[in-house]
Amino acid sequence: MTLCRIEPISFETPKGEPDLRILIVEDEPTLGTQLKSTLEQNGYAVDLSVDGEDGHFLGSTEDYDAVVLDLGLPEIDGLTVLGMWRKENRNFPVLVLTARDSWSDKVAGLDAGADDYLAKPFQTEELIARLRALIRRASGNTSSELTAGPVRLDTRSGRVTLAGEPVKLTAQEYKLLSYLMHHKGKVVSRTELIEHIYDQDFDRDSNTIEVFVTRIRKKLGADVITTIRGLGYSLDDPAEPTRS
């Protein structure tokens, strides 16, 4: 068994990293728990699964923005899980964890539909950087900065500005705004927001979303997020300059 060394990360500035929802499927308890907590400290909502059967189920039924998948798993091995997801058209980016120097694992992982791989042991910083890149690529953004009219959001620093002026958002407001900005121009339902922004333990009352949207509008302008009656919300580049 390969043990992984987890490097401690120092947080000099409050990070509001991507914010999105990640599934980790890893049977080694220490590694799984440490990864979960590090990703959570970086602003992600994280579910941890410790075997292939449960991991496959979560990936098939919940919506994730990215998955970290160990290959050596009890019940169903990682490669099989990945193949099953791809057959079910689950297209989230998957980063596969391979045993050290296992060249055949890497090839097999990529063949089965993995988007990236990382050999154990690895630096947590590298895992986070790769996840960030995968999520950006999957949402069609190549820069760490997302914009919508006068609103700019930097996924690396977690900073949000309105017409160049810094705006303070709470962690939950940031998560919601970031998700909408990653899906600019699309209608996003409340259910989708709840599923992507919060982990399984969160109070999933959909009124909570409405409260966050109202607060974001107060801070960034009433027309930054459009309510699509009966469908959800959308965030677009305004045709004219936004007035708040």
Q: Say if residue 241 is exposed, middle or buried (CB neighbours under 10 Å; 0-12, 13-18, 19+).
A: exposed
Looking at residues 16 to 45 of the shown chain, list those that interact with Ca ion (rule: CB under 5 A): 27
User: Shortest distance, CB of residue 78 to Ca ion, whole angstroms?
Assistant: 8
Residue with smaller CB distance to Ca ion, 17 or 27 = 27
Residue with smaller CB distance to Ca ion, 26 or 173 = 26
Q: For Ca ion, how many residues bind (rule: CB under 5 A)? A: 3
Name the residue with the smallest CB distance to Ca ion: 72
List 55, 72, 149, 150, residue binding Ca ion (CB under 5 A): 72
**105 lies in the site for Ca ion, by CB under 5 A:** no
User: Shortest distance, CB of residue 118 to Ca ion, whole angstroms?
Assistant: 13
Amino acid at 229: R
Q: Which of 195, 240, 186, 188 is nearest to 213 (CA)?
A: 188
List 65, 70, 105, 195, residue binding Ca ion (CB under 5 A): 70
Residue with smaller CB distance to Ca ion, 16 or 32 = 32
DSSP 16-34: -----EEEEE---HHHHHH
Looking at residues 174 to 213 of the shown chain, list those that interact with Ca ion (rule: CB under 5 A): none
Q: Which of 47, 194, 66 is nearest to 132 (CA)?
A: 66
Window contacting Ca ion (CB under 5 A); options: 66-74, 102-110, 141-149, 160-168? 66-74
User: Shortest distance, CB of residue 64 to Ca ion, whole angstroms?
Assistant: 19
Beta-carbon contacts of 6 under 8 Å, excluding residues fewer than 6 positions away, are 31, 34, 35, 38, 124
Sequence-distant contacts of 129-133: CB under 8 A, at least 24 apart: 130/95, 131/18, 131/22, 131/39, 131/66, 131/68, 131/95, 132/17, 132/18, 132/156
User: Shortest distance, CB of residue 43 to Ca ion, whole angstroms?
Assistant: 26
CA distance 112 to 77: 12
**55 lies in the site for Ca ion, by CB under 5 A:** no
Residue with smaller CB distance to Ca ion, 31 or 169 = 31
User: Shortest distance, CB of residue 84 to Ca ion, whole angstroms?
Assistant: 18
C-alpha distances (whole Å) from 228 to each of 67, 185, 191, 235 are: 30, 12, 14, 10
Residue with smaller CB distance to Ca ion, 49 or 208 = 49
CA distance 71 to 26: 8
User: Shortest distance, CB of residue 74 to Ca ion, whole angstroms?
Assistant: 8
Contacting residues toward Ca ion, per CB under 5 A:
27, 70, 72
